[in-house]
Amino acid sequence: MEEFLNKLPTSVSKTELLRILQEFQDKYGYLDNDFIHELSKKIGIQPGKIFGIASFYSQFRFKPSGKYIVNLCSGVACHINSSENLINVFTKLTGLKDGETSADGKITLELVPCLGGCANSPVVKVNDKYYTKVTKADLLKIIQELK
Amino acid sequence: MEFTITINNKKIKVSNNEKILDVLRRIGINIPTLCNVPGLSPTGACRLCVVELNDTNELVPSCSTPVRVGMNISTHSNKVINARRVIVNLLLSNHPDNCLYCDKRSYCELHQIAENLNITDRSFPGEPKKSKSDRSSPGILREMSKCILCGRCVRICEEMLGISAIDIVNRGKNIEIETIFKKGLFYSNCIHCGLCIKYCPTGAIIEKSYVQNLIDKLNNSEKEKVIVISNSTIADISNFYGIKKFTDCRNNIVGALKDIGFDKVFTLSPGNEIFIYENAVKILNHIKDKSNNTLIVTDCPAAKKYVKSELSELSPLLTSIPSPQQILAKFFKKSDDSNVFMTVVTPCVANKYEAVQSSNTTKGVPDIDIVISSNELLKLFNTYGIEFPYSRKQIPDNPSNSDTSAGPLFETKGGISETLIRELLYQNQKSYPKKLFEIKNDKNFIEFSFVLNNQQFKIASIHGISSLKEKVEDILSGKYLFVELRLCENACIDGCVQLRDDDPDKFKKIKKLILDYDETNNSDTASKNPFIKAYKNNNLKQK
Ligand code: SF4
Ligand code: SF4
Ligand code: FES
Ligand code: FES
């Protein structure tokens, strides 16, 4: 982390800040308390403010995530194609609610407002892999594979 | 540049950098505002302050719209009033409606605005917000279901203090005011100054109340019940009930508290006096040692926390004498299994935070059992049906019975400097001029020079974080012998949990009460209290 911070300039614009946060998350998985505080000292923006800015964007995580991040879409198109059922099934089978990670550290559930595949909704994404027109049976299979 | 505009059919002279709202306030036209905070940049978020531009029939927020040549404004047209009603109805649509149990009650701005707009029904049915609260701070309670997202607290904490302990987080319908990682104020960099309590228009941020706990203890505890009242509280109650003399009100309060069931009643003055005395000793030694550092003298827990966490380069300069409240706590509770139950009444939320710091606790129990605010003291009196002037007068218990006027003076703006220099001169040469420097001066930064032992010294009196930030270099360079530091711009007498009052000049009246007392009193520096003499001798013996 030190190395990461050393490279940064001492004053940054908001867009740059978002880029830095994104880069850190890509590298370390999530934005943790220590990082936000160290970053704050370096760039002179209060930690609470950094948290406020980051929390606006749903892509930022503040807790460690599992090996597999499962994105279930809760957007309008997916909702019409009963994504809510999928969400309920998922929660029933894994016990996970939005933002939670399984005890074995394998699976994190994150609901997202739209995955950009509305035409083939409902959409499910696991790490970088997309599944389209997902049925209940498909979802069961996906979960099986992850376990 | 000056020009005239038309407001409600009247010609009004304005200058071109004014916002419409500034003009309306200046000429006494009252319109509701929620997000606006005088002195901070307008955000135009709540839209309650809209006025109509008659030429285009357009509604614009007056707080953020500058005046323009030829403007013709209506402030209370039908269109304007209807727009305001819609906004307030929307704000109320998911409000929890448990106003009867809300501490803000008649002081709620939202309530007042709704009343003024004749809103008597819920016109947009919405699901009332579920309770979500942050109780982590010992002094501040945030109940976010009552939040209307005006953003005042966020801007105070960011723009006035530069702390940002709270911010707007999430977006869309999940938007809320939160601390970092949503863990609560106690776990953030909040300095517990309480300014957000003062500025929140609703009951979303209030002080945590301990009055009922106190009443329970009064009736059930076998211990000796001791209460210490800050002079700011006495002066505030004095002003509230129109009692002209500080000592009259003080004695009234003592009588009333004895009748309620307290065994001993003290003022904070002996604590202030020891604080002044100890700092004077420290400063005289500092001069003897020929140190060139500037010392920082403060009794303000919020200022101390701020310096330690945000300006750590200054923190070795703090004289680190415990605050007057804590000095008295150590004095009254000499042994661990003390038989004393101690209550402190203060104008300041940060004292509640200070009381639970590990250095101020014994075996995990705070040395001061309960801290209540001036505001809460008034509630206590109301519960017992007590009004002032009260029928019974009594002088406070020893050592408060021989208070000097340095005690109350200490709690005013510039009071640390004034009382400390008096004491330095008194300890050194037994004489001092009565009025040292323009304590009536209301600036947030005052520099002052004085002569001690033929040597000229400079000191500074600093109030508020922005003035402190500007002077960091000067302090580090050792320019001053000492600086007085307090976070509230008008010092303790204008603390965030003084009696609720709409009078913006209240602190001036309170100050006058105290200055009058000082002017007519000859016992006016810490060491003149015989108690300090005893304390001094005792200290010498111990050393
Ligand atoms: S108490 Fe002061 S520092 Fe804490 S959140 Fe409120 S305004 Fe900010
Ligand atoms: S907590 Fe109070 S001051 Fe802060 S945004 Fe909500 S209503 Fe406004
Ligand atoms: S709404 Fe689900 S992909 Fe767009
Ligand atoms: S007070 Fe002007 S928009 Fe809120």
Which two structure tokens, joined as six digits, stand for A45? 């923006």
Same domain, B251 and B341: yes
Number of domains in chain B: 3
Residue B195's Cα: distance from chain center in Å?
7
Same domain, B312 and B278: yes
Q: pLDDT tens digits, residue range B373-429?
A: 999 999 999 999 999 999 899 999 999 999 999 999 999 999 999 999 999 999 988
Q: pLDDT tens digits, residue range A60-80?
A: 888 888 889 899 988 888 888
Cβ separation B167–A47 shorter than 8 A = no
Same domain, B231 and B184: no
Identify the residue with better confidence: B185 or A5: B185
**Considering every ligand atom, which ligand is closest to the CA of A111?**
3
Which two structure tokens, joined as six digits, stand for B157? 């904490």
Q: Which residue of A has its CA nearest to B171?
A: A56
Q: Does A44 touch chain B (CB under 8 A)?
A: no
pLDDT at site B533: 85
Q: pLDDT tens digits, residue range B297-306?
A: 999 999 999 9
**Over pLDDT 70: what percentage of chain B?**
98
Domain with residue B151: its CATH number is 3.30.70.20
Q: Which of B89, B119, B153 is the last residue of a domain?
A: B89
Which two structure tokens, joined as six digits, stand for B237? 């109650």
Domain with B29 in it: 2-89
Domain with residue B478: its CATH number is 3.40.950.10
Q: pLDDT tens digits, residue range A41-59?
A: 999 899 999 999 999 887 8
- What residue type is assigned to position A47 of the chain? P
What end-to-end distance do the CA atoms of chain A give, in Å? Answer: 31
Q: How far is CA A142 from CA A117, A120, A138, B150, B277, in A?
A: 18, 17, 6, 45, 74
Domain with residue B50: its CATH number is 3.10.20.740
Backbone dihedral angles phi then psi of residue B413, each to the nearest 5 degrees: -65, 130
Ligand 4 within 6 A of CB of B36:
yes
**Over pLDDT 90: what percentage of chain A?**
32
Q: Report the separation in Å between the CA atom of A79 and the middle of ligand 3, taken as the mean of its atom positions.
A: 8
Which two structure tokens, joined as six digits, stand for B307? 């310096």
Average pLDDT, chain A: 88
Same domain, B168 and B226: no
- Asked if residues B386 and B256 have their Cβ atoms less than 8 Å apart, the reply is yes
Nearest CB to B169 within list A36, A47, A52: A52
Tell me the pairing of strands B455-463 and B445-452.
Answer: antiparallel
Cβ separation A48–B168 shorter than 8 A = no
- C-alpha B302/C-alpha B273 separation (Å) is 21
Cβ separation A46–B170 shorter than 8 A = no
Q: Where are the domains of chain A?
A: 2-56, 68-146
Backbone dihedral angles phi then psi of residue B74, each to the nearest 5 degrees: -115, 130
Ligand 1 pocket mutation, candidates B156, B195, B349, B487, criterion most atoms within 8 A of CB? B195
- C-alpha B525/C-alpha B419 separation (Å) is 7
Which two structure tokens, joined as six digits, stand for B80? 């304007």
- Asked if residues B108 and B42 have their Cβ atoms less than 8 Å apart, the reply is no
pLDDT classification of A82: cutoffs 50, 70, 90: confident
Cβ separation B171–A47 shorter than 8 A = no
Same domain, B185 and B220: no
Q: How far is CA B498 from CA B135, B377, B442, B515, in A?
A: 21, 10, 19, 19
pLDDT classification of B137: cutoffs 50, 70, 90: very high
Q: Which of B173, B208, B243 is the last residue of a domain?
A: B208
Closest CA of chain A from B88, distance in Å: 26
- Asked if residues B532 and B254 have their Cβ atoms less than 8 Å apart, the reply is no
pLDDT at site A51: 94
**Considering every ligand atom, which ligand is closest to the CA of B166?**
1
pLDDT at site B48: 96
Residue with tokens 């508290």: B257
pLDDT at site B542: 54
- C-alpha A29/C-alpha A31 separation (Å) is 7
Range A68-146 has CATH code 3.40.30.10: yes
Q: Which residue of A has its CA nearest to B169?
A: A52
Q: Which residue out of A55, A59, A62, A98 would a mutagenesis test of the B interface target, given it has the greatest number of B Cβ atoms within 10 Å?
A: A55
pLDDT at site B89: 94
Ligand 2 within 6 A of CB of B204:
yes
Same domain, B509 and B367: yes
Identify the residue with better confidence: A26 or B268: B268
Closest CA of chain A from B285, distance in Å: 36
Look at A54-68, B8-22, B257-271, B396-410 and tell me which has the smallest mean pLDDT. A54-68
Q: Does A47 touch chain B (CB under 8 A)?
A: yes
pLDDT at site B543: 45
Same domain, B356 and B505: yes
* Neighbouring-strand partners of residue A124: A72, A131
Q: Write the residue with the smallest CA distance to atom 3 of ligand 2.
A: B200
Average pLDDT (B142-160) is 95
Average pLDDT (B90-97) is 92
* Neighbouring-strand partners of residue B12: B5
Q: Report the separation in Å between the CA atom of B31 and the middle of ligand 4, taken as the mean of its atom positions.
A: 10
Q: 3-class DSSP state for residue B422?
A: helix
Closest CA of chain B from A33, distance in Å: 8
Average pLDDT, chain B: 93
pLDDT classification of B440: cutoffs 50, 70, 90: low
pLDDT at site B441: 65
In this predicted structure, the answer to whether residue B538 has a pLDDT above a threshold of 80 is no
Q: Does A48 touch chain B (CB under 8 A)?
A: yes
Same domain, B195 and B223: no
Average pLDDT (B88-108) is 91
Same domain, B194 and B287: no
For CA atoms B398, B401, B402, B407, give the dihedral sign.
positive
Same domain, B223 and B201: no
Q: Would you list the DSSP string of A76-129?
A: HHHHHTTHHHHHHHHHHHH---TT-B-TTS-EEEEEES--S-GGG-S-EEETTE
Which residues of chain B does A55 touch, with a Cβ-Cβ cutoff of 8 Å? 169-170, 178
- Asked if residues B53 and B5 have their Cβ atoms less than 8 Å apart, the reply is no
Q: Which of B208, B228, B251 is the last residue of a domain?
A: B208
Same domain, B161 and B236: no
For CA atoms B283, B287, B289, B290, give the dihedral sign.
positive
- Asked if residues B406 and B273 have their Cβ atoms less than 8 Å apart, the reply is yes
Q: 3-class DSSP state for residue A24?
A: helix
Note whether residue B113 is domain-resident: no
pLDDT at site B540: 59
Ligand 3 pocket mutation, candidates A72, A110, A111, A123, criterion most atoms within 8 A of CB? A123
Q: Does B170 touch chain A (CB under 8 A)?
A: yes
Which residues of chain A does B179 touch, with a Cβ-Cβ cutoff of 8 Å? 48
Residue A111: partners with Cβ closer than 8 Å, 6 or more residues away:
A71, A72, A73, A74, A87, A98
Q: Does A56 touch chain B (CB under 8 A)?
A: yes
Cβ separation B164–A62 shorter than 8 A = no
Which two structure tokens, joined as six digits, stand for B372? 């209540």
Q: pLDDT tens digits, residue range B522-531?
A: 899 999 999 9
Q: 3-class DSSP state for residue B89?
A: helix
pLDDT at site B148: 95
Average pLDDT (B2-18) is 95
Same domain, B275 and B197: no
Which residues of chain B does A56 touch, with a Cβ-Cβ cutoff of 8 Å? 169-171
Identify the residue with better confidence: A122 or B231: B231
